[in-house]
Amino acid sequence: MGEYFWSLTVSIMKNIVIQAVACVLILYIMKDFYGSRLLVVYYTSVLFIVVSVQKYCYRKVIEGFRKKGRNTRSMLIVGGGKVGINFYNSITENVSSGYRVVGVLDDKKVTGFGDKYLGSIDRLEYTLSSIFIDEVIICLPNYASERLSYIMDVCRNFVTSVKIIPDFFQFLSEKYEVNMMDRYTIISVKQETINEFHWRLLKRVFDIIFTILAAIFIFSWLWPALMLLQIIFNPGPLYYKGERSGRKGKSFYCYKFR
């Protein structure tokens, strides 16, 4: 919930900043900017509140419907290994996802799914004929790839949507991002949020404020004390410098007490 809240807040702020800039430009062109600055403040404040309330209410309404079993899509998981368990837990813990797991098939009897385990993969045809399934999610390990042909043929006969989660996803952290580059799927194992402008701006503001406060309340007495102790117990140069790599590989020197 916390991750969703911050993601939603950032998304709303991006849109509001764009609209605020557009509003300022329009007022400037109309030569009425200085007399209408409060209008921009009021407009963005009200817009943020209204959009936030609208998003929150919409999410709560959808969650309410989905908790009652409405507005959901039924899902069958084929494969009860590590990937299948992680995916199952992710879906069942996220009520707002809009999916409802009706069962799990695996050639080996697996635990961790409760009464959702319906038997071996050979029961796929029987399961699809007896239960309406919107999507079949394949979570098989690489060594069981020969079962894919059977699963595809059965799902094709029942016109059921099929999605495959590659086995190598078990080696990835919970935070990854999938993008398309031309015809290729690119998976970023760790999303580098610092590359986004609003996170860089937030980090820069934090760095400046923290550095100023630390310099006033801590470094003003700590640095002279360290210098004095070093002169007494370890005479010699006070500092040494080490080369470090910064953004875009640009080198800089980092000074430290020796």
Radius of gyration of the chain (CA): 28
Examine the pLDDT at 2 and tell me if it is beyond 50: no
- Whole-angstrom distance, CA of residue 57 vs CA of residue 63: 10
High-pLDDT (> 70) share of the chain, %: 75
Mean pLDDT of the residues in the chain: 77
Examine the pLDDT at 34 and tell me if it is beyond 60: no
pLDDT number for residue 76: 92
Average pLDDT score over residue span 131-144: 84
User: How many other β-carbons are positioned within 10 Å of the β-carbon of residue 56?
Assistant: 12
pLDDT number for residue 69: 63
Examine the pLDDT at 77 and tell me if it is beyond 60: yes
Q: What angle do CA 4, 8, 11 make, to 5 degrees?
A: 140
Grouping H, G, I as helix, E, B as strand and the rest as coil, residue 191 is coil
Average pLDDT score over residue span 47-51: 81
Examine the pLDDT at 174 and tell me if it is beyond 60: no
- Whole-angstrom distance, CA of residue 162 vs CA of residue 37: 54
Examine the pLDDT at 126 and tell me if it is beyond 70: yes
Residue 130, CA distances (Å) to 76, 208, 214 in order: 13, 63, 67
Find where tokens 């550095």 sit: 211
Global model pTM greater than 0.85: no
- Ordered DSSP codes for 118-144: EE-GGGHHHHHHHS--SEEEE---GGG
- Whole-angstrom distance, CA of residue 213 vs CA of residue 202: 17
- Whole-angstrom distance, CA of residue 83 vs CA of residue 60: 30
**161 forms bridges with which residues in the sheet?**
135
Q: What are the pLDDT digits (tens) for 202-245?
A: 777 888 888 888 888 777 888 888 888 888 888 888 778 888 87
Examine the pLDDT at 119 and tell me if it is beyond 70: yes
